[in-house]
Amino acid sequence: MPKLAFIGAGRMAGAMVRGLLRSGACRPADIAILGGAGVSAQKLSQETGVRLATSAADLMQGADAVVVACKPQVFLTLDPSFGPPAAGKLVVSVLAGTRCERLAGFFAGARAIARAMPNTPGAVGQGITALCSAQPLSQPDAAIVSAILSGLGATVEVPESMFDAVTAVSGSGPGFFFEYVAAYEQAAVGLGFTPEQAKVLVRQTFSGSLALLAATGETPENLRNQVTSPGGTTKAGLDALGAADFRQVVASALLAAKARGEELGKAK
């Protein structure tokens, strides 16, 4: 079992730690965490039993790999003392917009650098994580990366040049989906349902539709057409979405998220 050091103890770090423990890839004693000035690290340590480190050197002592899981803005101001203790270790970053080149500059003595972009459904083992590395990973390092990501869900390897797009599509995607669910539930309440009725109707409709999509192997358009009769209720609703240029709105959200990822990558 690899010994891991987590820089950061927020939601994503917590999801990864819990995934590692849930999958059996690590024991609590194999994981050390160090957060910022808040109480998230202390809470995560209390809830999971992982070790709460007191300094960068303490955090990384004996670790096989360092997982950089703080916010990208925090990394920009990270104390230089976090760099030297990572010498000879594998560094795995989940930071949006932070290139392998920048990571290699900060962790100059690291033996290998990898980037991963998980998303929040990884907290329940249903996420998707994109992966790339500065150089091809050795078999032992690839196994450590696989262990780190094993509890989060599926993994797909993509070139680093696609990471800003990945951040937009799957990294930010849950936020866009949750906003749509919230808007749908609000609209259902506007039709006269209670909030609880709206919650049940909307969430089961969405989860059931996704299950149907997965089970049939059909395209979304084909399944849409199967429920759309000429002159019917679904057609009327789709016409309203089309009039609002719904697909362009979705594309605009992804483009804005991708552009922000590019901005983060250029930040000094």
- List the CATH number of the domain containing 66: 3.40.50.720
Determine which of 1-10, 105-114, 257-266 has the lowest per-residue pLDDT on average.
257-266
Q: What is the pLDDT of residue 112?
A: 96
180 and 107 fall within a common domain: no
Distance CA 48, CA 30 (A): 12
Please write the tens of the pLDDT for every residue from 166-178.
989 999 999 999 9
Which has the higher per-residue pLDDT, 219 or 16?
219
CB 61 within 8 A of CB 85: yes
Q: In this structure, is residue 165 part of a structural domain?
A: no
| Average pLDDT of the segment spanning 45-56 | 95
Whether residues 250 and 146 share a domain: the answer is no
Rounded CA separation 107/93 (Å):
11
Judged on CB neighbours under 10 Å (0-12, 13-18, 19+), 268 is exposed
Q: What is the pTM of this model?
A: 0.84
Residue 167 covered by a domain? no
Rounded to 5 degrees, what are φ and ψ at 133? -145, 155
**209 is in which domain, residue-wise?**
173-266
* pLDDT, average across residues 193-218: 97
pLDDT of residue 268: 61
pLDDT at 62 over 90: yes
Residue 134 maps to a domain: yes
Q: For the segment 192-205, what is each residue's pLDDT rounded down to a tens digit? A: 999 999 999 999 99
- Per-residue model confidence (pLDDT) at position 64: 94
Q: Are residues 104 and 154 in the same domain?
A: yes
Q: Is 88 in the same domain as 201? A: no
| Displacement of CA 229 from its chain's centroid (Å) | 38
Say whether both 230 and 150 belong to one domain.
no
Tokens of 129: 């994580």
Q: What average pLDDT is seen over the chain? A: 93
Q: Are 144 and 2 in contact (CB under 8 A)?
A: yes
Number of domains in the chain: 2
Average pLDDT of 142-165? Answer: 92
Statement to judge: residues 141 and 179 lie in one domain: no
- Same domain membership, residue 76 and residue 31: yes
Same domain, 196 and 96: no
Q: What are phi and psi of 213, to 5 degrees?
A: -60, -45
Q: State residue 12's pLDDT score.
A: 86
Q: Is residue 242 part of a domain?
A: yes
Residue 143: inside a domain: yes
* Percentage of residues in the chain having pLDDT higher than 90: 80
Beta carbons of 211 and 218 less than 8 angstroms apart:
no
Contacts with 108 (C-beta within 8 Å, 6 or more apart), sequence order: 83, 87
Q: Which of 19, 14, 12, 11 is nearest to 125 (CA)?
A: 19
Looking at 105, 127, 159, which one is the last position of a domain?
Answer: 159
Mean pLDDT of 248-254: 97
- Is the predicted pLDDT of residue 51 greater than 70, yes or no? yes
* Residue 125 sits in the same domain as residue 191: no
Q: Strands 90-93, 112-117: parallel, antiparallel or unpaired by DSSP?
A: parallel
- The pLDDT score that the predictor gives to residue 25 is 84
C-alpha span between 18 and 35 (Å, rounded):
16
Residues 93 and 18 in one domain: yes
Residue 116 sits in the same domain as residue 46: yes
pLDDT at 141: 95
- Domain membership of residue 166 (yes or no) is no
Residues 83 and 35 in one domain: yes
Query: Strand order in 4-7's β-sheet?
Result: 51-52, 31-34, 4-7, 65-68, 90-93, 112-117, 127-133, 153-157
Other C-beta atoms within 10 Å of 50: how many?
25
164 within domain boundaries: no
Last residue of a domain, one of 159, 192, 207: 159
Please report whether residue 192 resides in a domain.
yes
Q: List, for residues 12-31, the tens digit of each pLDDT value.
A: 899 889 888 888 888 999 99
What's 219's domain CATH number? Answer: 1.10.3730.10
Domain end residue (candidates: 99, 127, 159): 159
